[in-house]
Chain A
Amino acid sequence: MIVTWEVAHRIGLWPKFLFPSPSEVLYTLVNGFHDKSFIIGIIASMRRIVIGYLISLVAGLALGLSFGRIKFLEETLGSLALGLQTLPSICWLPLALLWFGLNESAIIFVVIMGAFLSITIATESGVKNVPPLWLRAGRNMGAKGHRMLLEVIITASLPSIIVGMKQGWSFAWRSLMAGELLYVSVGLGHLLTLGRELNDMSQVLAVMIVIIIIGLLVDRIVFANLERGMRERWGLEQV
């Protein structure tokens, strides 16, 4: 693939400045890490997504649990959550800018809106699908209140919660990039915009590669392991 890319570049089908060669992109990439501009960008983006994602996780779990357990909430707010999830989270940006102003809070808010609803909905469905038998067994062995919640209900819903967390992460990552592209200084999305403004195609491509790699790494390392561990323990792995 890289060879085809290089050949296409050499033939000169497109202007060279619009279609840099792989080696140029690699050079920009290395250079970006060398002058720390990429590292600063990655750190800024990761900080936002980690904060936003953790808040989403806590809020999503709490809300999902209450939707799953309290029928009244599910019937009122539950359908609202379902409706809101159809809204791409970047659409929250104008609202966030008006509420929070041009600062970190606004972008973190957008990240939260990306992840939080899918975690909520997955948790809710997980909680609702906990076999009643496990609840009875738990009750029978003396589980009540928060112990029941923690040790039976949440753990029993884990397969569904993990799916929601994974989906939430990818939504959060997308909304963060969209948010950073649209405004905000520092961050990977901003580096992309910068590349466009400077007509530096190799920077644009290099940043895109970084974004893909980070997305993949988190998915492959964090979530794949989480999921595999759970599946192995539960015996859901296909043999």
Chain B
Amino acid sequence: MIPGYTSPSMQAAQRQAIPKLSLKHISKNFHTKTGKFNAVEDINLEVKAGEFICIVGPSGCGKTTVLNIIAGLEKPDGGDALVDGTPIKGPGTDRLVIFQDLALFPWLTVSKNVEFGLRLAGVSKKERQERAMHFLKMVHLTRFSNSCIHELSGGMKQRVALARALAINPDILLMDEPFAALDAQTRDILHEELQEIWVATKKTIIFVTHNVREAACLGDRVLVFATHPGRIKQQFQLMCTRPRHIEDPGLMVYAKAILAELKAEVEKVAKEELDYDWRTVTKKPVLRLDDRNLGSGT
């Protein structure tokens, strides 16, 4: 769509040296009935303004914890989390989360949901409506502005959540497995739209997913998380042109490499949790020679 497009991250890098977001030695523990457990340990990450970061990792590796720390919804037990060089103190509308379960408010219509953050910020009614309309247009939902949330399909709800976040005009969008529950076709469309919106709005996006191909499709950089404790195991810089499609053959190389990293982690988790190593299970042939009663005629 945009030939010769250079990623906003490159432009941003030329512009400024202070990273948009930086995590230094972040650690976080949770206390459960069975004792203390290390959600994340020693996370170090620098994100440039306008960069699209994808995070993949096995469940329980602290991806969501990292997002919550950046959002200011949780406090790290150690380390520093900085936005534009200043420490994060609690939630702020410069960093918005799009939650896995969306958290749209069913008591508000679509446009009222989009206006919600603006109303809290004291934006006038007229401007609120204009901005809501603008972003609903961006996600192609103007027709449904007065609908109730439950009347929308999964993909449409996703769009509302995106518009609601964009309307508040955050610098950083934190997306927590937003497309996990959608069917593949809807997801494809949303991948495309998200890339367009990202290019148009120049947001910094941190996108958590389970789906390796999705990560390869969307990210400038893909981080693979390891578990117990959660930490960054490997990073991949993706140099593919935009817009990308999830089926692009060029992405497959990356997807394969990321998957290889991830698979080792997932298997480790399975082994720890289930005390079972599926690799050691030998495959038995369905038929063995002596099963075959060939009628030796005793």
Contact = CB atoms under 8 A, between A and B. Distances in A.
B103 interface: yes
Given A140-B71, A141-B96, A141-B116, A235 B103 contact: no
Interface stretch (A78-86, A150-158, A201-209): A150-158
30 contacts: A133-B99, A133-B101, A134-B103, A134-B105, A136-B103, A137-B103, A137-B105, A139-B73, A140-B71, A140-B91, A140-B93, A141-B96, A141-B116, A141-B120, A142-B93, A142-B117, A142-B120, A147-B120, A151-B120, A152-B105, A155-B105, A155-B107, A156-B107, A230-B107, A233-B106, A233-B148, A234-B106, A234-B107, A235-B106, A235-B149
Contacts, number: 61
A225 to B, nearest CB: 16
Contacts of B73: 136, 139-140
Contacts of A136: 73, 97, 99, 103
A97 interface: no
A156 B105 CA distance: 8
A143 interface: yes
A147 B97 CA distance: 19
Interface residues of B, number: 24
A232 interface: yes
B162 interface: no
A235 B151 contact: yes
Nearest to B100: A133
Given A142-B93, A234-B148, 8 more contacts: A134-B105, A136-B73, A136-B97, A141-B117, A142-B117, A142-B168, A152-B105, A233-B106
A143 B107 CA distance: 16
B121 interface: yes
Contacts of A143: 120
Contacts of B168: 141-142
Contacts of B96: 140-141
Nearest to A232: B148
A138 to B, nearest CB: 8
Nearest to A139: B91
Nearest to A233: B148
A233 B107 contact: yes
Interface in A148-199: 151-152, 155-156, 158
Interface in A200-239: 230, 232-235
Contacts of A158: 107
Contacts of A232: 148
Contact of A234 (B99, B120, B150): B150
Given A139-B73, A141-B120, A234-B150, A133 B103 contact: yes
A137 B99 contact: yes
